Amino acid sequence: MLRYIGEKFLTSLRDLNGIISSAVYSISSFLFSSKHGRRAASRVLYKQVYFTGIEALPIISWIAILLGIIIVTEAMSILPQIGGERFIGKIMVWVVIRELGPLFAAIIVIARSGTAMAAELGSMKINNEVMAIEAMGIDPQVYLVVPRVIGASLAIFILTFYFEVISVLGGYLLAGFGTRMSFHVYASSILEAINITDIIASLLKSLFFGLIIGAVCCYHGLKVGRSITEIPQETTKAVITSLFLIFVVDGMVTMIFFFI
């Protein structure tokens, strides 16, 4: 029993080290690498941003609007009774901008793009495409991993900002419109409640989440060996690990900014 626990612990440490290494290498390669091979990698990056970010806008929009409806409707059913309409801004900032905006964007990307990323790389590994890339003198990390990690980070950064704007505005337009609270009061309560720290914390979370999701999914995708049955196994591990790590990082960032 102890041996099994020890082996699992060591495997988790190796996986965590590989994920962190992939994330750090992606950042350094993106910022400081030479121009050699950058054009080919850029095309992969653009496609990743398009697939992860642009194509996810419809589902992000609907979820953001529904979340805004739920929050504003629930708040407006209680706050007017206690004269607390001015607190609607604080509620939206605390719930949407500080927490749910980055988390929902990351979860949608994991479910939609993270699984595809891990499965695609796993399939390439099975079909010896990764080996063929190496045989051509191309570093698989530069061509396969870096564009996907950076692309996922940029996409989640954009999606988080978009999600928060749509949720805040859409929530009022669809749920708050026609109530006793005017849009001026609603907007003023948002602007009074929000500060630069909230925005920085939210966007910083989105960047961390993107790095985590991209690095985890690429790492597990490239861990696939020779059996095709390993693809769903590693994809499932990528999803579970990504979800676990984003919640851990979310809690850490929230605690850091709470004590600032």
Decide if 158 is inside a domain: yes
Tell me the residue range of the domain where 238 lies: 39-258
Digit-by-digit pLDDT tens for the chain (260 residues) are: 666 677 777 777 887 888 888 888 888 887 776 565 567 778 888 888 888 888 888 899 899 888 888 887 777 776 655 555 667 777 788 888 888 889 999 999 999 888 999 999 999 888 888 888 888 877 888 888 888 999 999 999 999 989 988 888 877 775 556 556 667 777 777 777 788 888 888 889 999 999 999 999 999 988 888 788 888 999 999 999 999 999 999 988 888 877 66
Q: Which two tokens stand for residue 5?
A: 């626990």
In a domain, 27, yes or no: no
pLDDT for res 34:
57
Give the model's pLDDT for residue 94: 81
How many domains, in total, are found in the chain? 1
Which pLDDT belongs to residue 239? 93
Flag whether 127 is in a domain: yes
Predicted local distance difference test score (pLDDT) of residue 156: 92
| pTM confidence score | 0.87
Radius of gyration of the chain (CA): 21
Determine the pLDDT at residue 212. Answer: 93
Residue 10 lies in a domain: no
Q: Buried (b) or exposed (e) across 87-111, using 16+ Cβ within 10 A? A: bbbbbbbebbbbbbbbbbbbbbbbe
pLDDT at residue 80 in the model: 58
Phi, psi angle pair for 137, to nearest 5°: 85, 20
Which pLDDT value is given to residue 173? 73
pLDDT of residue 180: 60
Residue 222 lies in a domain: yes
| 17 inside domain | no
Question: What local confidence, expressed as pLDDT, does residue 74 receive?
Answer: 76
Q: Is residue 58 part of a domain?
A: yes
Q: Is the residue at 22 inside a domain?
A: no
Q: What are the structure tokens assigned to 163, written together? A: 């999600």
Q: How far is Cα 99 from Cα 107, in angstroms, rounded to an integer?
A: 12
